[in-house]
Structure 1
Amino acid sequence: MAHHKSAIKRIRTEQKARSRNRYYKRRVKEAIKSVLSSQNKEEALENFKRTVSLLDKLVNKRIFHRNKAANRKAKLARYINSLEQ
């Protein structure tokens, strides 16, 4: 257990940040699964737009690195392009 006031506060802030980060990362995983489980190209494109928007927001909040987000967007785009109309 921490003894200093600042260390106690730091533990509290880290717990908040950890739960917030876990929430956002879970949302990204769900969004990616929604794109990959889409049946047709139109549905996949709609889910892709939502996923890209979410990834960009998380890059701005510094939860994801911009290169990691770019890699995920590129991978999803390749998958969508492989789908048939």
Structure 2
Amino acid sequence: MANNKSASKRILINKRNRLQNRFYKSSVRTLIKLFQHQLEVYKTSQTPEDKIKAQALLNSTYSLIDKGCKKNVFHKNTAARKKSKLSLQLKTI
């Protein structure tokens, strides 16, 4: 337990930041999995609608990665690496 007022405030701030970090990291992981699943669907069907869905998922993933980078959840190089890896997966199909 905290011994003074500032320590108890820091505990609350750390809890808030931990929940925010967990939200961004888990949401990005979920969107990446959805994007990869959509790529598999597009590989088998090769329809333009599936490619549009994959591109929309990629855009939303980019957005969430950028917001996490802005809030210091992800390092800027980590964010760039994730985005580059995802765009390469879409381009190679």
Greater helix percent: which structure? 2
Unaligned residue ranges in structure 2 (runs of 5+): 43-50
CA distance in structure 2 between the aligned counterparts of 1:72 and 1:50, rounded to whole angstroms: 13
Q: Which residue of 2 is the match for residue 62 of structure 1?
A: 72
Which residue of structure 2 lines up, in the alignment, with residue 7 of structure 1?
7
State TM-score, norm by structure 1. 0.88
In the alignment, structure 1 residue 75 sits paired with structure 2 residue 73 = no
1:32 aligns with 2:42: no
Q: CA deviation at 1:43?
A: 2.3
Q: 1:57, CA displacement in angstroms?
A: 1.4
Corresponding residue SS for 1:37:
helix
One-letter code of the match for 1:34?
L
Distance of 1:27 and 1:45 partners within structure 2? 17
1:43 paired with 2:57, answer no
Counting aligned pairs with the same residue, the percent is 39
1:23 CA displacement: 1.0
CA–CA distance in structure 2, aligned partners of residues 19 and 57 of structure 1 = 15
Gaps of 5+ in 1: none
Q: Displacement, 1:6?
A: 0.7
CA distance in 1, matches of 2:67, 2:9: 27
Q: What's 1:53 paired with?
A: 63
Superposed CA deviations along residues 21-68 of structure 1, whole A, max 9, x for unmatched, are 111111111111111111113322121111111111111122111110
Aligned-pair Cα RMSD in Å: 1.1
**Structure-2-length-normalised TM-score:** 0.81
List structure 1 segments (4+ residues) > 2 angstroms apart after TM superposition.
none
